[in-house]
Amino acid sequence: MQQRGTFQLMKSVNKSIILNKIRIAEPISRAQIAKETSLTPPTVSSIVKELLEEGLVRESQLGESSGGRKPTMLHINSGAFYVIGVDAGPETVEGVLTDLTGEILQRAKQKLEKPLNNEKFIDILKDNIRHNLAAPGIDQTKIIGIGIAMHGVVDVETGMSLVAPNLNLKNVPIKQELEKEFNIAIKVENDARAMALGESWFGGHGEADSMVAVNIGRGVGAGVVMNGKLYHGAQGIAGEFGHMTIDLNGSICECGNPGCLQTFVSGASIAERARSRMGEGAPSTGQEVYELAQEGHAASIKLLQETGRIIGIGLINLVHLINPRKIVLGGGVMKSEAFLMPAILETIRQRALTPKARQTSISVTRLGEDATLLGAVALLLVEMFDPI
């Protein structure tokens, strides 16, 4: 059965290279593409002609000339196709419909009421996707696929959610069920890894060759992007940053092991430490700890600064292990950036093995809560733009 929406226009590596160059550098001329990709001008002209005919690229007269006719500039035709991206769990399912530049055209959100089973969870995903498929004025035949950023451990080949601990679900056949329902290309990825892809595509980082995105919220995860590609590891669990052991004798984590980073820095863990220290009347969520800190509450400020130091210890381990050019932080806990970041940066400065190790850029996502959603969208765009 031929899947509706599967992207079939790419015929060559060169075509993808040119399309990706236009995406990153637009507006750009044919001559500049040839110069920057080392492809011959006739090859570039021939492929650009195809891309124009297919509606993926459009022209404008924006270029500067040194005399004579201005060069014709090329842009991605953002409305040529659409993508649906879904951020699934652990508290909500949120979906968006975007164009090829990641501009959000439609949005839908549902709360996940527990207890859940696999069938109920799949039904919620389907409802969310149907809402976005029904966006007014959108030609459904131009939707190239659906990306799902899923909480927990995912088998990206089969598109199955193997373990979703915070939802208490296992072996959810997401790809299989959604392809059966919608007859369209489905990509499923772990949410933290999807966030990393979203950052590398839409976060304004240029062509960052190595980046780690860390999501600190209800859980703690990370995604590693190397040479523009997500790194999955031999068994597909690369990026389980929250399960790095920080204290051999620490509290038992949801995974069953003692002293995981997640038991110190997740929103729930911050609230638990607040309760143990402040007693009656203590804040009951990480958000409340942050709100008290904003009001000048000394114990809450101290707690967040301590949390920043622990996050910094986790990040310096990442710097020493992977040595990425950038680390981007996101998730609900990073709303407390004003109290966390000074401690994070000072911890890295103190503990970095070499002066150059301190040069890893540490920042908070500019995409906010949409970073993971846009990562789900990017799962499909990689298929179109990626030259390999």
pLDDT over 70 percentage in the chain: 93
**HEC string for 274-326:** HHHHHCCCCCCCHHHHHHHHHCCCHHHHHHHHHHHHHHHHHHHHHHHHHCCCE
Label residue 73 by pLDDT band (50, 70, 90). very high
Average pLDDT for 338-344: 97
Average pLDDT for 106-130: 94
pLDDT at 66: 58
Say whether pLDDT at 360 is over 80.
yes
pLDDT tens column, 1-10: 344 444 444 4
Label residue 361 by pLDDT band (50, 70, 90). very high
Report the chain's C-alpha Rg in angstroms: 23
Domain 13-76 belongs to what architecture? Orthogonal Bundle (1.10)
- The whole-angstrom distance between residue 240's C-alpha and the CA centroid of its chain comes to 15
pLDDT over 90 percentage in the chain: 63
pLDDT at 62: 63
Mean per-residue pLDDT of the chain = 89
The CA distance from 54 to 50, in Å, is 6
- The whole-angstrom distance between residue 17's C-alpha and the CA centroid of its chain comes to 22
Pick the CATH number of 205-365 from 3.40.50.1580, 3.90.180.10, 3.30.420.40, 3.40.50.150: 3.30.420.40
pLDDT at 255: 85
For the domain spanning 82-197+372-385, the CATH number is 3.30.420.40
Stretch(es) of the chain classified as CATH 1.10.10.10:
13-76
Stretch(es) of the chain classified as CATH 3.30.420.40:
82-197+372-385, 205-365
